[in-house]
Amino acid sequence: MTTIGEMGEHKAISRLIQTLGSQADLVVGAGDDCAVCRMPGSGFEQVFTTDPVVENVHFLPGDEPERVGNKAVGRVLSDIAAMGAQPQWILVNVVAPPEQDFRFIEGIYRGMSALCTRFGATIIGGDLAKGTCLELHLFGTGVLPRGTALLRSGARPGDAVFVTGKLGCSLGGKHLDFMPRVEEGSFLRDSGLVNAMMDVSDGLATDLRHILGQSGVGAELDAATIPRNGTLEQALFDGEDFELLLTTAQPDALAASWPAHFGCDLVRIGSITAEQDALRVDGRLLAAKAFEHFQA
């Protein structure tokens, strides 16, 4: 018997993806931040994503419930933002032990509702079930004009690599309090200048490798330019920053238009190369290292 712990998260996901089906209106299936599906009879497409938030994995029992709610719905909104889509509908399944303080769950819903209101999303239902610890399983949809979704697979040699904010040390509080880059994602889609994009949830090094693998390219990062809290190692590997990571063939035009809309600079941190699957930092080949569920 092979256990999921022996396989690890990413290999298990890869195996499960092979069992999934397809359909004519499915534009992008599993493997990106969201699936993308056509909306027949319209000029739009919907994106679909789901994310769990589990006690003692993604938050601690002593964390403020409103902050837990912010994280729970923020993770879904961040995926939607990474496609350049506008959030629509949210479903929430709650799993909890019978002794769970219901006021804590009400606080979580206050946090979720506040963030949804800010970005035009609506919680429309869900379910409640008994379990051994508190878990939140969220499902979300978004909408965008047909053919405009920003995927991980579009990076090309010569592209510049940008990130929307500081990376690393998210356990200091950002992993609960982050603001998903929904407005930034829509702006980047509308610009027409972005070739590939995703959000940084598993760490810069790990997530950039997803873009490299799906685009068939490599990357060279300049360590001094990576905006960070803490060390370079933390910026590369900590994760749960929920900034947007993107590539563009027109860096000057994109960087010049950014400050007027968001009051800060869009930071260039490197370039895409033709060295397939190779991620280098200041010329040094970076070994693969990432957090994975089910493995120490």
* pLDDT digit string, tens, across residues 106-147: 999 999 999 999 999 999 999 999 999 999 999 999 999 999
User: What residues form DSSP beta bridges with 279?
Assistant: 219
Same domain for 173 and 60: no
Q: Is residue 150 part of a domain?
A: no
Q: Is residue 176 part of a domain?
A: yes
Residue 103: band (very low, low, confident or very high) from pLDDT cuts 50, 70, 90: very high
How many domains does one find in the chain? 2
User: What mean pLDDT comes out for the span 82-96?
Assistant: 98
At residue 9, φ and ψ (nearest 5 deg) are: -60, -50
Residue 161: band (very low, low, confident or very high) from pLDDT cuts 50, 70, 90: very high
Helix, strand, coil percentages (3-state) for the chain, rounded to 5, are: 35, 30, 40
Residue type at 178 in one-letter notation: F
Exposure string of 69-87, with b = 16+ CB inside 10 Å and e = fewer, is: bbbbbbbbbbbbbbbbbbb
Same domain for 104 and 170: no
User: What mean pLDDT comes out for the span 152-172?
Assistant: 97
Domain span at 43: 4-145
Task: Tell me: pLDDT of 291 over 60.
Answer: no
Residue 177: band (very low, low, confident or very high) from pLDDT cuts 50, 70, 90: very high
Same domain for 188 and 240: yes
Residue 290: band (very low, low, confident or very high) from pLDDT cuts 50, 70, 90: low
Report the distance separating Cα 49 and Cα 131, nearest Å. 23
Same domain for 139 and 108: yes
Residue 75 has a pLDDT of: 98
Same domain for 272 and 183: yes
Q: Is residue 203 part of a domain?
A: yes
Task: Tell me the CATH number at 107.
Answer: 3.30.1330.10
Q: Is residue 97 part of a domain?
A: yes
Same domain for 107 and 164: no
Same domain for 91 and 40: yes
Q: Is residue 101 part of a domain?
A: yes
Q: Is residue 223 part of a domain?
A: yes
pTM for this predicted structure: 0.93
Q: What does the mean pLDDT of the chain come to?
A: 95
